[in-house]
């Protein structure tokens, strides 16, 4: 489970700005954001599945992923974390890549995937749910969007709170520079949960309630589950200068770092 808020082609200084919380078991082996060996991919790594939930490339491509909240999942399904990598390592444009998934999307548990090319100003949303139907492919319009564990821009409690919180920051700074690191810390730490009436009623109410905040923290029989990293990716206008901020848990201690780089756009 994750949540992402992103501003796409809608700010004079930032053609792309993304904030993300990754929710996972705290004891699941994970590598912090870094350049992947043998390719120009920058992102975190799930060391069990081998994939990622959010990454980008020097070529100006971006991909990020969330799971779909559903009652049952298949343990035999392919790892969804492979999907961002498939796009980033390919030469395909976003729409072309989306079309290429049509034959195999049913081999994954429910996913929401965003793939984007900064240079061509093209962003596409892909989902393999509802189950049994052809995958959904939708070009993403310029503007502010929020993606959680349902369809893009579904008005859940946490997505609405995150959108309102970011809009308050946006109003404060207007068309000027946004302090991305400070904004990330401010908007992604919200632990306010939904009322029962605001839950989607897909799984158990207790589980949904615990997942309904932007920042998640749940004690489970399998260990602590919840937000184990917060990140922000910003691409600046006029040259493709970019920064990937991450605040992440390492042996129970929160650490942070930033990677500055140039996209070839």
CA contacts within 13 A on the Cβ side of 136: 17
How many domains does the chain contain in total?
1
Q: What is the radius of gyration, based on Cα positions, of the chain? A: 17
- Tokens matching residue 33: 């954001």
184, 243 Cβ separation under 8 angstroms: no
- 4: closest CA among 122, 162, 136, 141? 162
pLDDT band at 95 (very low <50, low <70, confident <90, very high): very high
Could you read off the pLDDT of 23-41 as tens digits, one per residue? 999 999 999 999 999 889 9
Does the model's pTM come out above 0.85? Answer: yes
Residue with tokens 């790892």: 79
185 backbone dihedrals φ, ψ, rounded to 5°: -65, -35
- How far apart are the C-alpha atoms of 217 and 196, rounded to whole Å? 18
- 158: closest CA among 169, 142, 168, 147? 147
Could you read off the pLDDT of 254-263 as tens digits, one per residue? 999 999 999 9
Residue 19 pLDDT exceeds 90: yes
Count the helix, strand and coil residues of the chain and give each as a percent rounded to the nearest 5. Answer: 20, 40, 40
Which residues are registered as beta bridge partners of 151?
none
Angle between helices 180-187 and 157-173 (to 10 degrees): 150
pLDDT of 21 reads: 98
Could you read off the pLDDT of 140-170 as tens digits, one per residue? 999 999 999 999 999 999 999 999 999 999 9
Mean pLDDT of 119-128: 97
Average pLDDT, rounded, for the chain: 96
- How far apart are the C-alpha atoms of 59 and 47, rounded to whole Å? 24
Residue 130 pLDDT exceeds 90: yes
The residue range of the domain holding 10 is 2-262
Q: How does strand 111-117 pair with strand 241-250?
A: unpaired
15 backbone dihedrals φ, ψ, rounded to 5°: -65, -25
pLDDT of 104 reads: 94
Residue 132 pLDDT exceeds 90: no
Residue 1 pLDDT exceeds 90: no
- 39: closest CA among 116, 4, 91? 91
Mean pLDDT of 169-186: 96
Mean pLDDT of 203-224: 96
The CATH number of the domain where 57 resides is what?
3.60.60.10
Mean pLDDT of 229-247: 96
């Amino acid at each position: 489970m994750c949540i992402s808020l992103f501003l796409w082609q809608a700010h004079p200084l930032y053609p792309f700005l993304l904030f993300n919380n990754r929710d996972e078991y705290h004891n699941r082996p994970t590598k912090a954001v870094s350049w992947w060996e043998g390719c120009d991919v920058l992102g975190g790594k799930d060391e069990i599945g081998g994939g990622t939930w959010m990454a980008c490339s020097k070529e100006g491509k971006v991909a990020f992923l969330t799971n779909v909240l559903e009652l049952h999942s298949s343990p035999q399904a392919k790892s969804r974390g492979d999907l961002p990598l498939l796009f980033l390592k390919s030469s395909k444009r976003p729409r072309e890549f989306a079309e290429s998934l049509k034959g195999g999307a049913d081999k994954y548990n429910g996913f929401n995937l965003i793939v984007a090319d900064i240079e061509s100003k093209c962003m596409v949303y892909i989902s393999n749910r509802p189950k049994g139907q052809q995958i959904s492919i939708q070009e993403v319009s310029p503007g502010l969007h929020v993606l959680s564990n349902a369809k893009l821009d579904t008005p859940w409690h946490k997505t609405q709170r995150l959108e309102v919180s970011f809009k308050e920051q946006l109003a404060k700074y207007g068309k000027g520079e946004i302090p991305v690191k400070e904004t990330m810390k401010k908007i992604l730490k919200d632990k306010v949960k939904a009322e029962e009436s605001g839950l989607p009623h897909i799984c158990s109410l207790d589980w949904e309630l615990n997942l309904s905040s932007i920042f998640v923290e749940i004690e489970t029989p399998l260990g602590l589950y919840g937000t184990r990293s917060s990140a922000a990716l910003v691409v600046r206008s006029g040259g493709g200068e970019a920064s990937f901020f991450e605040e992440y848990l390492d042996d129970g201690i929160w650490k942070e770092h930033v990677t500055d780089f140039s996209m070839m756009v």
